[in-house]
Amino acid sequence: MSAIPSADFTNDPGRKSWVVTANRPDTDFPIQNLPFAVFKPQSSSAAYRGGVAIGDQIVDLGALAASGALRDNAAMAAQAGGRSTLDDLMALGPDCWSALRRELADALLEGSPLQSRLRSCLTPQSEVEYSLPATIGDYTDFYSSIHHATAVGRLFRPEQPLFPNYKWLPVGYHGRSSSIMISGGDVRRPQGQRAAGGTNAPTLGPTRRLDYEVELGVFIGTGNPLGSAIALDAAEAHIFGLCLLNDWSARDLQAWEYQPLGPFLAKSFATTISPWIVTLQALAPFRQAFVRDAADPPPLAYLDGDANRAAGALDIQLEAYIATAAMQSCGAPAQRLSSSSFRHAYWTIGQLVAHHTVNGCNLRAGDLLGTGTQSGPTPQEAGSLLELCAGGTRPIAVGTNEQRTFLEDGDLVSIRGWCERPGRARIGFGTASGRIIAA
């Protein structure tokens, strides 16, 4: 039986909420979404607690559990989700996640008899601050966009842009979980070894080629025992949900250090994620068939299956924006740098999980997987400055009189994501943003 969810009553576009801001056509958080985050009132000594977005409000899961409005698995899930991280909720598994979503979707529905009881559980999003949603014990970043891999490969290895293994397995590396931060934090320019072109004598100093990467993050819910594997058909039942992710990258450090063992200091200094985790059930209406070029080799059996081929891809729109220090000082709006879709990914989220565990590696609740930079087939769909600026050789115009090849101190980078199609409610991910500060 496939773990890929199909649309149900909670995805019905005709459903409206008594929280009126959830009914606006441009909201990220209609009643069909109901994503999770961890929050507390701004500048307070209160403990962080889990919540669910609805319009411009947050349902406090601890207060919801105490209200007695929910039953059985939904009540157990709300109680677990009301703690300082979502770890316990993630570990409960899909039956409890689904029960909470279904009962909350009905409780927030226009005309619900629980309206008066739930109103006291709401907190305005404008009055809160966010924390990391889970205790991220491990972080693995993949390389699932063939368009990004090919474009970057041409810059570093024009004679062989793709290594022979790329079309056979999801390439990845083990990242640094301790430097993952929530959206809105400052990103300090990292220092490290850099080697000028044509020399093998490096110098130590701040990166001169700081970049962003537009990615999605995949939060693991229930894990697997050490020595076991998660089959592709069961993989998505182990996924709690998706967020936005920016894997900040120092390209000059990366070019010097990445062979033979891959990224290290060029990546480990900062990774930014959005506060909100969108569930796979909320994304069910935006599934697409997973297709490959007919000339490419078919995946090995453990990475292939009828359900993955039929609905493994997700049409999630992804955009990157920049606001330089000068733009911010004069109140100019951020400028969009690129736009693409996760449907172009060469590997699905289910395949990432199946490959990660095929050797017996045990995933745990709260583990985070990055999809790798998501770029589309055209140059305008590139998910990094490295691609947009052709390795720094082709500056792009920013604002009224500035240019960029790589990021400068004071630049504010924001990643946005959403799903949209006729006849369906718009499902948003919020924003993952960070401002560059000096080394």
Whether the CB-CB separation of 344 and 150 falls below 8 Å is answered with no
* Residue corresponding to tokens 């490096």: 202
Enumerate the β-bridge partners of residue 173.
Answer: 141
pLDDT at 197: 75
Does the pLDDT at position 367 exceed 80?
A: yes
**How many whole angstroms separate alpha carbon 348 and alpha carbon 190?**
32
**How many whole angstroms separate alpha carbon 333 and alpha carbon 178?**
32
Residue 127 structure tokens: 């009055």
Mean pLDDT of 309-314: 98
Q: Which long-range contacts (CB under 8 A, 24 or more apart) does 333-338 make?
A: 334/412, 334/414, 335/398, 335/399, 337/385, 337/388, 337/396, 338/214, 338/375, 338/380, 338/381, 338/382, 338/383, 338/388
Residue 271 structure tokens: 């990774």
17-21, 90-94, 193-197, 375-379: least confident range: 193-197
pLDDT at 196: 82
Distance of alpha carbon 112 from the chain centroid: 32
pLDDT at 411: 98
Does the pLDDT at position 54 exceed 70?
A: yes
What is the β-pairing status of strands 271-273 and 180-182?
parallel
Residue 130 structure tokens: 């966010």
Residues 6+ apart with CB under 8 A from 43: 129
Quickly list DSSP for 125-144.
GGGEEEE-SS----EEEE--
Whether the CB-CB separation of 438 and 189 falls below 8 Å is answered with yes
**Per-residue buried b or exposed e for 58-76, using 16+ beta carbons within 10 Å of the residue's own CB:** bbbbbbbbebebbeebbbb
Mean pLDDT across the chain, nearest whole number?
A: 96
Mean pLDDT of 67-79: 97
pLDDT at 2: 62
**Per-residue buried b or exposed e for 89-101, using 16+ beta carbons within 10 Å of the residue's own CB:** bbbbbbebbbbbb
Does the pLDDT at position 9 exceed 80?
A: yes
Does the pLDDT at position 205 exceed 90?
A: yes
- 3-class secondary-structure state, position 279: coil
- Catalytic residue ranges: 148
**How many whole angstroms separate alpha carbon 317 and alpha carbon 288?**
13
**How many whole angstroms separate alpha carbon 109 and alpha carbon 101?**
12
Whether the CB-CB separation of 288 and 311 falls below 8 Å is answered with yes
**How many whole angstroms separate alpha carbon 412 and alpha carbon 184?**
9
Query: Over the stretch 109-161, which tens digit does the pLDDT of each residue have?
Result: 999 999 999 999 999 999 999 999 999 999 999 999 999 999 999 988 888 89
pLDDT at 1: 45
Query: Over the stretch 277-292, which tens digit does the pLDDT of each residue have?
Result: 999 999 999 999 999 9
pLDDT at 199: 77
pLDDT at 206: 98
| Domains recognised in the chain with CATH numbers | 9-131 (2.30.30.230), 139-437 (3.90.850.10)
pLDDT at 3: 80
Quickly list DSSP for 335-404.
EEEEEEEGGG-SS-HHHHHHHHHTT-PPP-TT-EEE------SSGGG-SSHHHHTGGGTS-EEETTTEEE
Mean pLDDT of 248-276: 95
Closest Cα to residue 220, out of 212, 230, 210?
230
Residue 190 structure tokens: 């990292």
6-20, 53-67, 73-87, 186-200: least confident range: 186-200
Q: 347, exposed or middle or buried, with CB in 10 Å at 0-12, 13-18, 19+?
A: buried
